Structure 1
Amino acid sequence: MSTPSDDVHKATRAAFIEKVGLQVESAGWMPRMSGRMLGLLLVAEHPVTQAEIREELLASVGAISSASRELIAKRLARRVGVPGSRHTAMELHPDAWRSLEEDGMRGVQDYSALARGALEEFPPDSTAARNLQRMRDYFAVVEERMQHVLRWLDDTAPRA
Protein backbone atom coordinates (compact mmCIF):
# COMPACT_ATOMS: atom_id res chain seq x y z
CA MET A 1 0.00 0.00 0.00
CA SER A 2 1.40 3.39 -0.92
CA THR A 3 1.20 6.46 1.24
CA PRO A 4 0.54 10.02 0.03
CA SER A 5 4.25 10.82 0.43
CA ASP A 6 5.11 7.75 -1.71
CA ASP A 7 2.76 9.06 -4.40
CA VAL A 8 4.38 12.51 -4.28
CA HIS A 9 7.83 10.92 -4.52
CA LYS A 10 6.76 8.84 -7.54
CA ALA A 11 5.25 11.90 -9.24
CA THR A 12 8.35 13.99 -8.55
CA ARG A 13 10.58 11.21 -9.85
CA ALA A 14 8.46 10.71 -13.00
CA ALA A 15 8.41 14.45 -13.71
CA PHE A 16 12.20 14.68 -13.36
CA ILE A 17 12.74 11.69 -15.66
CA GLU A 18 10.53 13.30 -18.32
CA LYS A 19 12.30 16.65 -17.97
CA VAL A 20 15.70 15.02 -18.53
CA GLY A 21 14.34 13.24 -21.61
CA LEU A 22 12.96 16.46 -23.05
CA GLN A 23 16.13 18.40 -22.20
CA VAL A 24 18.54 16.03 -23.94
CA GLU A 25 16.21 15.75 -26.94
CA SER A 26 15.78 19.52 -27.31
CA ALA A 27 19.56 20.01 -27.01
CA GLY A 28 20.05 17.47 -29.83
CA TRP A 29 22.33 15.48 -27.57
CA MET A 30 20.46 12.16 -27.47
CA PRO A 31 17.03 10.75 -28.25
CA ARG A 32 14.37 11.38 -25.63
CA MET A 33 14.30 7.75 -24.49
CA SER A 34 18.04 7.82 -23.76
CA GLY A 35 17.48 10.98 -21.75
CA ARG A 36 14.59 9.43 -19.85
CA MET A 37 16.75 6.44 -19.01
CA LEU A 38 19.54 8.75 -17.88
CA GLY A 39 17.03 10.58 -15.70
CA LEU A 40 15.95 7.28 -14.15
CA LEU A 41 19.55 6.28 -13.43
CA LEU A 42 20.17 9.67 -11.81
CA VAL A 43 17.38 9.16 -9.26
CA ALA A 44 17.57 5.38 -8.80
CA GLU A 45 18.53 4.29 -5.30
CA HIS A 46 20.13 1.10 -6.64
CA PRO A 47 21.08 -0.42 -10.00
CA VAL A 48 17.96 -1.13 -12.07
CA THR A 49 17.30 -4.16 -14.25
CA GLN A 50 16.05 -3.94 -17.80
CA ALA A 51 12.63 -5.14 -16.61
CA GLU A 52 12.48 -2.39 -13.96
CA ILE A 53 13.50 0.21 -16.53
CA ARG A 54 10.83 -0.99 -19.00
CA GLU A 55 8.20 -0.95 -16.27
CA GLU A 56 9.04 2.51 -14.96
CA LEU A 57 9.49 4.13 -18.38
CA LEU A 58 6.65 2.18 -20.03
CA ALA A 59 8.97 1.42 -22.91
CA SER A 60 9.59 -1.49 -25.24
CA VAL A 61 12.48 -3.92 -25.02
CA GLY A 62 13.95 -2.43 -28.21
CA ALA A 63 13.74 1.15 -26.96
CA ILE A 64 15.44 0.25 -23.68
CA SER A 65 18.08 -1.79 -25.47
CA SER A 66 18.92 1.12 -27.81
CA ALA A 67 19.00 3.63 -24.96
CA SER A 68 21.21 1.30 -22.90
CA ARG A 69 23.70 0.94 -25.74
CA GLU A 70 23.86 4.70 -26.22
CA LEU A 71 24.33 5.50 -22.53
CA ILE A 72 27.03 2.83 -22.21
CA ALA A 73 28.80 4.09 -25.36
CA LYS A 74 28.80 7.63 -23.95
CA ARG A 75 30.07 6.23 -20.61
CA LEU A 76 27.07 7.67 -18.81
CA ALA A 77 25.90 4.27 -17.61
CA ARG A 78 27.35 0.85 -17.00
CA ARG A 79 26.09 -2.67 -16.56
CA VAL A 80 26.58 -4.34 -13.21
CA GLY A 81 25.82 -7.81 -11.95
CA VAL A 82 22.85 -8.53 -9.73
CA PRO A 83 24.03 -10.58 -6.71
CA GLY A 84 22.49 -14.04 -6.71
CA SER A 85 21.16 -13.68 -10.27
CA ARG A 86 22.27 -14.15 -13.85
CA HIS A 87 20.69 -10.81 -14.72
CA THR A 88 22.48 -7.52 -15.05
CA ALA A 89 21.37 -4.08 -14.05
CA MET A 90 22.23 -0.55 -15.10
CA GLU A 91 23.60 2.26 -12.98
CA LEU A 92 24.98 5.73 -13.55
CA HIS A 93 28.64 5.44 -14.46
CA PRO A 94 30.75 6.81 -11.59
CA ASP A 95 32.78 8.89 -14.09
CA ALA A 96 29.78 10.05 -16.14
CA TRP A 97 30.44 13.78 -15.77
CA ARG A 98 34.16 13.40 -16.40
CA SER A 99 33.35 11.48 -19.58
CA LEU A 100 31.08 14.28 -20.74
CA GLU A 101 33.74 16.88 -20.07
CA GLU A 102 36.41 14.82 -21.84
CA ASP A 103 34.16 14.42 -24.89
CA GLY A 104 33.51 18.16 -24.92
CA MET A 105 37.23 18.82 -24.54
CA ARG A 106 37.98 16.78 -27.67
CA GLY A 107 35.50 18.88 -29.64
CA VAL A 108 36.99 22.12 -28.31
CA GLN A 109 40.50 20.94 -29.21
CA ASP A 110 39.32 20.05 -32.72
CA TYR A 111 37.88 23.55 -33.27
CA SER A 112 41.02 25.12 -31.84
CA ALA A 113 43.23 23.11 -34.18
CA LEU A 114 41.00 24.05 -37.11
CA ALA A 115 41.40 27.76 -36.32
CA ARG A 116 45.17 27.50 -35.79
CA GLY A 117 45.64 25.60 -39.06
CA ALA A 118 43.49 27.99 -41.06
CA LEU A 119 45.32 31.03 -39.65
CA GLU A 120 48.41 29.99 -41.60
CA GLU A 121 46.45 30.17 -44.84
CA PHE A 122 45.33 33.82 -44.63
CA PRO A 123 47.20 37.13 -44.63
CA PRO A 124 47.80 38.28 -41.03
CA ASP A 125 45.95 41.59 -41.49
CA SER A 126 42.86 40.12 -43.17
CA THR A 127 39.35 39.93 -41.76
CA ALA A 128 39.61 36.14 -41.99
CA ALA A 129 42.76 36.16 -39.85
CA ARG A 130 41.11 38.38 -37.23
CA ASN A 131 38.06 36.12 -37.11
CA LEU A 132 40.21 33.00 -36.87
CA GLN A 133 42.37 34.54 -34.12
CA ARG A 134 39.21 35.29 -32.16
CA MET A 135 38.02 31.71 -32.71
CA ARG A 136 41.40 30.32 -31.62
CA ASP A 137 41.47 32.54 -28.52
CA TYR A 138 37.87 31.68 -27.61
CA PHE A 139 38.52 27.94 -27.73
CA ALA A 140 41.76 28.38 -25.74
CA VAL A 141 39.75 30.01 -22.94
CA VAL A 142 37.07 27.31 -23.12
CA GLU A 143 39.72 24.59 -22.97
CA GLU A 144 41.31 26.23 -19.93
CA ARG A 145 37.95 26.33 -18.17
CA MET A 146 37.28 22.71 -19.06
CA GLN A 147 40.66 21.73 -17.60
CA HIS A 148 39.57 23.48 -14.40
CA VAL A 149 36.32 21.49 -14.38
CA LEU A 150 38.23 18.23 -14.90
CA ARG A 151 40.52 19.06 -11.95
CA TRP A 152 37.46 19.86 -9.83
CA LEU A 153 35.84 16.54 -10.80
CA ASP A 154 39.02 14.71 -9.84
CA ASP A 155 39.34 16.58 -6.54
CA THR A 156 35.72 15.99 -5.56
CA ALA A 157 35.28 12.42 -6.80
CA PRO A 158 33.82 10.07 -4.19
CA ARG A 159 36.48 7.80 -2.78
CA ALA A 160 35.82 4.06 -2.99
Structure 2
Amino acid sequence: ILVAIGLFYFYVQFNMVNSIPGLVLGHSLVAMPLVLIIVLSALKNYDMNQEKVARSLGASRTRAFIEITLPQIKFSLVSAGLISFLTSFDEIIISLFVAGGDNSTITRSMFLALRDQIDPTIAAISTILIIISSGLLILSQTISGKARPD
Protein backbone atom coordinates (compact mmCIF):
# COMPACT_ATOMS: atom_id res chain seq x y z
CA ILE A 1 0.00 0.00 0.00
CA LEU A 2 2.84 2.38 0.82
CA VAL A 3 4.46 1.83 -2.57
CA ALA A 4 1.15 2.53 -4.30
CA ILE A 5 0.58 5.73 -2.33
CA GLY A 6 4.13 6.89 -3.03
CA LEU A 7 3.73 6.12 -6.73
CA PHE A 8 0.45 8.00 -6.81
CA TYR A 9 1.99 11.16 -5.35
CA PHE A 10 4.99 10.83 -7.66
CA TYR A 11 2.77 10.31 -10.72
CA VAL A 12 0.61 13.31 -9.86
CA GLN A 13 3.68 15.55 -10.15
CA PHE A 14 4.53 14.15 -13.60
CA ASN A 15 0.93 13.75 -14.82
CA MET A 16 1.28 9.97 -15.14
CA VAL A 17 -1.84 8.95 -13.21
CA ASN A 18 -4.27 6.97 -15.38
CA SER A 19 -1.58 6.32 -17.99
CA ILE A 20 -0.28 3.06 -19.39
CA PRO A 21 3.41 3.98 -18.89
CA GLY A 22 2.66 4.77 -15.25
CA LEU A 23 0.92 1.43 -14.78
CA VAL A 24 3.75 -0.49 -16.46
CA LEU A 25 6.37 1.37 -14.43
CA GLY A 26 4.53 0.69 -11.18
CA HIS A 27 4.18 -3.03 -11.85
CA SER A 28 7.80 -3.21 -13.01
CA LEU A 29 8.92 -1.56 -9.80
CA VAL A 30 7.22 -4.27 -7.75
CA ALA A 31 8.46 -7.18 -9.90
CA MET A 32 12.04 -5.99 -10.44
CA PRO A 33 13.53 -7.25 -7.14
CA LEU A 34 12.22 -10.76 -7.79
CA VAL A 35 13.58 -10.76 -11.33
CA LEU A 36 16.98 -9.55 -10.15
CA ILE A 37 17.21 -12.23 -7.47
CA ILE A 38 16.43 -15.01 -9.95
CA VAL A 39 18.67 -13.78 -12.78
CA LEU A 40 21.59 -12.86 -10.52
CA SER A 41 21.50 -16.29 -8.89
CA ALA A 42 21.73 -17.85 -12.36
CA LEU A 43 24.60 -15.56 -13.31
CA LYS A 44 26.42 -16.42 -10.09
CA ASN A 45 26.78 -20.00 -11.33
CA TYR A 46 27.77 -18.85 -14.82
CA ASP A 47 31.37 -19.37 -15.92
CA MET A 48 32.71 -16.24 -17.67
CA ASN A 49 35.61 -18.22 -19.13
CA GLN A 50 33.29 -19.74 -21.73
CA GLU A 51 32.39 -16.32 -23.04
CA LYS A 52 36.06 -15.28 -23.00
CA VAL A 53 36.97 -18.36 -25.05
CA ALA A 54 34.23 -17.56 -27.57
CA ARG A 55 35.50 -13.98 -27.80
CA SER A 56 39.09 -15.17 -28.28
CA LEU A 57 37.91 -17.39 -31.13
CA GLY A 58 36.47 -14.38 -32.96
CA ALA A 59 32.88 -14.13 -31.75
CA SER A 60 31.50 -10.66 -31.17
CA ARG A 61 30.11 -9.68 -27.78
CA THR A 62 26.57 -10.05 -29.08
CA ARG A 63 27.17 -13.46 -30.63
CA ALA A 64 28.97 -14.72 -27.52
CA PHE A 65 26.06 -13.54 -25.38
CA ILE A 66 23.42 -15.12 -27.63
CA GLU A 67 25.19 -18.43 -28.19
CA ILE A 68 26.98 -18.94 -24.86
CA THR A 69 25.37 -16.94 -22.06
CA LEU A 70 21.72 -16.95 -23.05
CA PRO A 71 21.29 -20.74 -23.32
CA GLN A 72 22.76 -21.16 -19.85
CA ILE A 73 20.42 -18.69 -18.19
CA LYS A 74 17.31 -19.18 -20.33
CA PHE A 75 15.39 -21.14 -17.68
CA SER A 76 16.11 -18.44 -15.13
CA LEU A 77 14.89 -15.78 -17.55
CA VAL A 78 11.69 -17.72 -18.21
CA SER A 79 11.17 -18.23 -14.48
CA ALA A 80 11.79 -14.55 -13.81
CA GLY A 81 9.32 -13.60 -16.53
CA LEU A 82 6.64 -15.88 -15.14
CA ILE A 83 7.17 -14.68 -11.58
CA SER A 84 7.05 -11.04 -12.65
CA PHE A 85 3.86 -11.71 -14.63
CA LEU A 86 2.22 -13.39 -11.66
CA THR A 87 3.35 -10.61 -9.34
CA SER A 88 1.96 -8.00 -11.69
CA PHE A 89 -1.24 -9.98 -12.16
CA ASP A 90 -1.72 -10.22 -8.40
CA GLU A 91 -0.85 -6.60 -7.60
CA ILE A 92 -4.28 -4.98 -7.28
CA ILE A 93 -3.21 -2.13 -4.99
CA ILE A 94 -0.98 -0.39 -7.54
CA SER A 95 -3.66 -0.81 -10.18
CA LEU A 96 -6.26 0.77 -7.90
CA PHE A 97 -4.09 3.80 -7.18
CA VAL A 98 -2.46 4.33 -10.57
CA ALA A 99 -4.85 2.99 -13.23
CA GLY A 100 -8.23 4.33 -14.09
CA GLY A 101 -10.51 5.22 -16.93
CA ASP A 102 -9.58 3.32 -20.07
CA ASN A 103 -6.38 1.90 -18.54
CA SER A 104 -7.83 -0.75 -16.27
CA THR A 105 -6.27 -4.14 -15.64
CA ILE A 106 -8.39 -7.28 -15.46
CA THR A 107 -7.73 -7.68 -11.74
CA ARG A 108 -8.81 -4.09 -11.09
CA SER A 109 -11.97 -4.57 -13.11
CA MET A 110 -12.76 -7.81 -11.27
CA PHE A 111 -12.14 -6.18 -7.89
CA LEU A 112 -14.37 -3.22 -8.68
CA ALA A 113 -17.11 -5.48 -10.07
CA LEU A 114 -17.06 -7.65 -6.94
CA ARG A 115 -17.11 -4.60 -4.71
CA ASP A 116 -20.19 -3.16 -6.39
CA GLN A 117 -22.24 -6.29 -7.11
CA ILE A 118 -22.00 -10.04 -7.45
CA ASP A 119 -21.73 -10.78 -11.13
CA PRO A 120 -21.51 -14.25 -12.74
CA THR A 121 -19.13 -12.78 -15.31
CA ILE A 122 -16.42 -12.70 -12.64
CA ALA A 123 -16.84 -16.44 -12.04
CA ALA A 124 -16.57 -17.07 -15.78
CA ILE A 125 -13.42 -14.94 -16.07
CA SER A 126 -11.93 -16.71 -13.05
CA THR A 127 -12.63 -20.09 -14.63
CA ILE A 128 -10.98 -19.00 -17.88
CA LEU A 129 -7.95 -17.73 -15.97
CA ILE A 130 -7.64 -21.03 -14.08
CA ILE A 131 -7.85 -22.97 -17.36
CA ILE A 132 -5.19 -20.74 -18.96
CA SER A 133 -2.92 -21.06 -15.91
CA SER A 134 -3.33 -24.84 -15.85
CA GLY A 135 -2.62 -25.05 -19.57
CA LEU A 136 0.53 -22.96 -19.22
CA LEU A 137 1.66 -25.12 -16.31
CA ILE A 138 1.17 -28.32 -18.32
CA LEU A 139 2.94 -26.74 -21.31
CA SER A 140 5.91 -25.66 -19.20
CA GLN A 141 6.16 -29.13 -17.64
CA THR A 142 6.07 -30.70 -21.09
CA ILE A 143 8.74 -28.36 -22.44
CA SER A 144 11.00 -28.79 -19.41
CA GLY A 145 10.57 -32.56 -19.65
CA LYS A 146 11.73 -32.51 -23.27
CA ALA A 147 14.67 -30.25 -22.44
CA ARG A 148 16.08 -32.64 -19.82
CA PRO A 149 18.42 -35.33 -21.06
CA ASP A 150 17.39 -38.84 -20.04
- Scaled by the length of structure 2, the TM-score of the pair is 0.36
Report which structure shows greater RCO (CA 8 Å, sep ≥6).
2
Greater share of residues in strand: 1
Greater share of residues in helix: 2
